[in-house]
Amino acid sequence: INSQSHSMLLKSRSLASEVIDKMKLAENPEYVGSLKKDKAEKYKSNPVFREKLIDGFIKNLIVTPISGTKLIEVNFEHKNPELASQILNTLFDSYIEMLIKRKYTASEQATEFLSTQIASLRKDIEEAEKKLAELGTAQGILPLSSAEAPLISKITEVNTALTAATLDKVNKLTTYNQLRALRPEELPESPSNPAIARLREQYALLSREYARRLATLKPEYPEMLKLKSEIEATYEALTNEKENLIKTAYAEYQGALAKEQNLQKLLDDLKAQAYKANSSAILYNSLKIETENKKTLLEALSKRQSETDLASRLKDLQALNVWIVDRASIPVEPAFPNRRKTFLIGLFLAIVGGAGTTLFINYLVATVKSSRDIAQATAWPTLGTIPAFEKEYKPRGPRAEFQTLSNLLQGRPGIFSKKKGKSRVQEPKKFSLQSQPAASPEKNNHQIELIVQREPHCIQSEAFRSIRTTFLLSLEGPAKKALIFSSPLSKDGKSAVISNLGLALAQAHKKVVIVDSDLRKPKQQEIFSVDYTWGLTHFLSSIVDASEVIRPTSFSNLFLVPSGITPTDPLEIMFSDKMRAFINFLKQQFDFILFDSPPILAVSDALVLGKQVDGLIMVVRAGQTPISALKQARNKIENHKINCLGVIINGVSLIEQDGYYARQYYHYSKPL
């Protein structure tokens, strides 16, 4: 039996039931819990309770084959250490007894058969000796004559042969019964059949390999299924060899039985001749010889019985090959919780958690925050920065804790400080447009993108006018009229920047048109609340003329081209002669053409359109746009040879800037 079989037998329900009965665990309050006496008696006879008791026993029993060895580690979990050790030792003893009982089955069968034969033979000898005594006393036997001697000699010879034949038959029958009781893997080696030894060795190797791999692989894995198939094939081959041996042993037994029967018939014929001759001496000597031969057979069978019993028991004990290496002792400390192991796990988790927190902080830090980050990542100029609103630059979660700690270490004051002795950060008391981000997720308040008109004196409006000045000083001219706005990722506030920048340019008496070229998720037409029955896609599809898709807004000098219906292939209609003709038409009519396009890393619309306009302006959000994403966008723009004019940083946190200048800028921008 391999290690896997021993492990399964140790956790068998029959063995668990035997241990429970031996130790009377069903009546032990420490094992089953505190039960009143009447309830304990009731549960004791309840089969459901007993099954649950066995289930609990098997659940607490842990059997683990030690990899690379033939050893098995057995543990039992219980809150009482003394009871746990007693249960394990009882389990070991019961398991050894179970194996010994199974091994003695074949030996007991052979011994029982020989005992039956010996008892029958002794009875025959007693009857023969009784007849001899009666015949000798009644007849007064005289010595044999010369005519009677050959018959007696023949009877003696046949009796000797019959004794040998009977002994041979008994041996053959014993061998046959022993073979039938053996398992295929327990077949003895035979010089005439070397295949048995080879198959036994192969079966043992495969079983050990299966048990070794079972520690790391599941039984349904292909490797394990293949190995199991090989084990079953080897076992089947051993079974076939066993059947062949049984057939051979049975044939030999039948031959020995036939020989015994023939000799017995011959002896009976010789006895009949003696009776026919009516010679008392012949009858007496014949009976005497038969009695002596039976005594010889009895002696041989008794010797064989002793040898068979001893050899079988020694062989069974040797084949048992199971012993207890260490008996269970009372543990000096609990197995669970393992304080050392718990400490090491806690230390490991602390290290991993610290490393994870560091990586998360590095991720937060590795985002665009200032023009220095833009210059290092792309070498593009920064056209301007747009401060974040209160709710936007007040971070939450881990980043808030990191920001607070950073401010305290660097001695940065709050942005909206009150007088000395009061709170350093002023919380907004009421709702205002200043408390909303530049790209609000609220669909019911799109006017937030038009902060330049609604809150002209706020710090964000001043930022947009500053960017407008940069545009007028460096970008004005026929060569830089058509500009496309994009961002590396979504939610960077691109649409809000375009709407406010377009409005700021219009306030400077520049004729501006905003083209909503984000055909997948258009937003400008909702910001300005214009009629978008006809749009860009209608013109590109040759449905209407160019002048019909240009819609006026509620602001002077500011116009809008809605996106129109969503096409099946936006790239195809963007990269067309009609699109180039439309751009040329707009250049003749307006001072600035601002295209709102999708994010560069999401789709390729901005890259296709960027080849047809005068330049591209990138919009990023401070503290949100990863520097790695900005670098990927730069690589795509450079690979397509698109002219990037610069970057606008949206949502810059004033907390991360110098507190004094930020406060001065804020108060200066407020109306008197």
DSSP of 332-351: SS-SSS-HHHHHHHHHHHHH
pLDDT digits (tens, 9 = 90+) for 75-96: 888 888 888 888 888 888 888 8
pLDDT at 483: 93
Better pLDDT: 558 or 533:
558
Q: What is the pTM of this model?
A: 0.45
pLDDT digits (tens, 9 = 90+) for 309-320: 555 554 444 445
Query: Which span out of 27-41, 278-292, 356-370, 490-504 was modeled with the highest average pLDDT?
Result: 490-504
Q: Hey, what are 81's tokens?
A: 């250490």
**Matching residue, tokens 């520690």:** 215
Distance CA 457, CA 648 (A): 20
Q: Of 214-223, 522-531, 661-670, which gets the smallest average pLDDT?
A: 661-670
**Per-position b or e across 628-662, b if 16+ CB within 10 A of its CB:** ebbeebbebbeeeebebbbbbbbbbbbbbbebeeb
Q: Which of 108, 104, 86 is nearest to 96 (CA)?
A: 104
Average of per-residue pLDDT across 558-582:
86
pLDDT at 295: 65
Domain at 367-669, CATH from 3.30.420.40, 3.40.1800.10, 3.40.50.2300, 3.40.50.300:
3.40.50.300
What are the CA-CA distances from residue 561 to residues 14, 471, 513 (Å)?
85, 21, 7
Q: Of 138-152, 441-455, 464-478, which gets the smallest average pLDDT?
A: 138-152
Q: Of 157-166, 223-232, 450-459, 521-530, which gets the smallest average pLDDT?
A: 157-166
Better pLDDT: 77 or 484:
484
Average of per-residue pLDDT across 469-487:
82
Q: Determine which helix (DSSP H) or strand (DSSP E) holds 74, and give its type and residue range.
A: strand 72-76
Average pLDDT taken over every residue of the chain: 75
> For the chain, first and last CA: distance in Å?
97
pLDDT at 43: 52
pLDDT at 239: 87
What is the domain partition of the chain in residue ranges? 3-93, 105-320, 367-669
pLDDT at 659: 43
pLDDT at 617: 94
pLDDT for residue 485 is more than 90: yes
pLDDT for residue 345 is more than 60: yes
pLDDT at 573: 81
pLDDT for residue 282 is more than 80: no
| Longest distance between any two alpha carbons in the chain, whole Å | 164
Q: Of 68-72, 197-201, 232-236, 376-380, which gets the smallest average pLDDT?
A: 68-72
Task: Check residue 650 and report its DSSP letter.
Answer: E
Average of per-residue pLDDT across 212-237:
82
* pLDDT bracket for residue 1 (50, 70, 90): low
pLDDT at 334: 62
The alpha-helical segments, DSSP class H, found in 518-658 are 524-527, 536-540, 570-574, 577-589, 605-610, 627-639
Query: Which span out of 158-172, 365-379, 394-408, 486-500 was modeled with the highest average pLDDT?
Result: 486-500
Q: Of 355-364, 397-406, 428-437, 444-453, which gets the smallest average pLDDT?
A: 428-437
Distance CA 584, CA 578 (A): 10
What is the side-by-side strand order in the sheet with 592-596? 382-387, 644-652, 615-621, 482-486, 592-596, 512-516, 558-561, 551-552
Better pLDDT: 282 or 489:
489
pLDDT at 441: 41
Average of per-residue pLDDT across 472-495:
84
DSSP of 371-427: HHHHHHHH-PPEEEEEEPPHHHHS--THHHHHHHHHHHHHTPPPSS--STTS-SSPP
* pLDDT bracket for residue 503 (50, 70, 90): very high
Distance CA 461, CA 453 (A): 8
pLDDT digits (tens, 9 = 90+) for 609-629: 988 999 999 999 988 899 989
pLDDT digits (tens, 9 = 90+) for 588-604: 999 999 999 999 998 88
What are the CA-CA distances from residue 277 to residues 273, 287, 388, 661 (Å)?
6, 15, 139, 150
pLDDT digits (tens, 9 = 90+) for 112-154: 665 676 666 666 666 665 665 555 544 444 344 444 456 667 7
pLDDT at 432: 39
* pLDDT bracket for residue 429 (50, 70, 90): very low
CA 175 to chain CA mean position, Å: 51
Better pLDDT: 108 or 75:
75
pLDDT for residue 406 is more than 50: yes
**Matching residue, tokens 């057979």:** 297
Distance CA 370, CA 622 (A): 7
